[in-house]
Amino acid sequence: MAVALSVNLNAVAQLRNRRDLPWPSVVGIGRIALENGAHGLTVHPRPDERHIRFSDLPDLRALIDDEFPKAEFNIEGYPTDDFLDLCDTNAPEQVTLVPDDPSQATSDHGWDFKANHNMLAPIVARLKSSGFRVALFADADPEGVKWAADTGADRIELYTGPYAATYDSPSAAERELDALQATADAAREVGLGTHAGHDLTVANLPPLVARIPDLFEVSIGHGLTADALEFGMSATVKRFLSACGH
């Protein structure tokens, strides 16, 4: 099964926000990504709008609806009331819930599903009642997966930061892959689909895909945007699609 690629546009938006100018265009870069085969677009609107702005969301929703109706819009974030209202307004195909503190530079851990079960379950139910698929950001922890399933979520997204950090240690990479594979196996047993994301690259994607053959989707922003500076966005999306097995 080839893995779907969702292009995270946060880094593009962060570059745009360095100036009071409309470029690089978040919508324009999203269009290039989808034109070249990406299966969807991901954004993570944080409360301070330091990269994706709330005003970007309806424009990206319109881009997909008007030009790429088979693509998916994935909105990720911590489930505050304001975040949930953004989801209701912009109707993503998927919502990915992450346990971010607003001050964090980026997501750096998954949910403690047992401790947060009673908080997550009604939020998942609310989102699913609106027709959104729900994924939950997860550490490589097979024991926690049953609690994730019990929230009613559809999928988990494996936090791959620790795996990506082993780029200079093949033995450490194998240990992280073992843990990710075990978690994906546990998720499958309780009926959850598996996604992955964080610091994935053209180099580290193929071993991950080989270990989790039923991986549904990867969401990639930083590494993909960094490569685009060298290869251009069109070629970079194709490189990542090839790494995903397309």
User: In the annotation, is 117 catalytic?
Assistant: no
User: In the annotation, is 198 catalytic?
Assistant: yes
User: In the annotation, is 76 catalytic?
Assistant: yes
Lookup: tokens for 199: 């610091």
Instruction: Give the rounded percent of residues in the chain with a pLDDT score beyond 70.
Output: 97
List the chain domain ranges: 4-243
**134 has which bridge partners?**
95
**CB within 8 A of 96, min separation 6: which ones?**
42, 74, 75, 76, 77, 134, 135, 136, 137, 157, 195, 219
Q: pTM of the full predicted structure?
A: 0.96
For residue 176, pLDDT over 90 is answered with yes
Mean pLDDT across the chain:
96
What are the tens digits of pLDDT across the range 155-174? 999 999 999 999 999 999 99
**7 has which bridge partners?**
41, 220
Which among 51, 72, 76, 157 is annotated as catalytic?
76
For residue 58, pLDDT over 70 is answered with yes
Structural fold of domain 4-243: TIM Barrel (3.20.20)
- The predicted structure's pLDDT at residue 100: 82
101 — pLDDT class (breaks 50, 70, 90)? confident
30 φ/ψ sector (left φ>0, alpha ψ -120 to 50, else beta) = alpha
The sign one gets for the Cα dihedral 209, 12, 37, 156 is positive
Which among 39, 44, 51, 195 is annotated as catalytic?
44
d(CA 199, CA 115): 27
Torsion of CA 111, 113, 116, 117, to 10 degrees: 140
Which among 72, 195, 198, 217 is annotated as catalytic?
198
107 — pLDDT class (breaks 50, 70, 90)? low
Lookup: tokens for 72: 């998916």
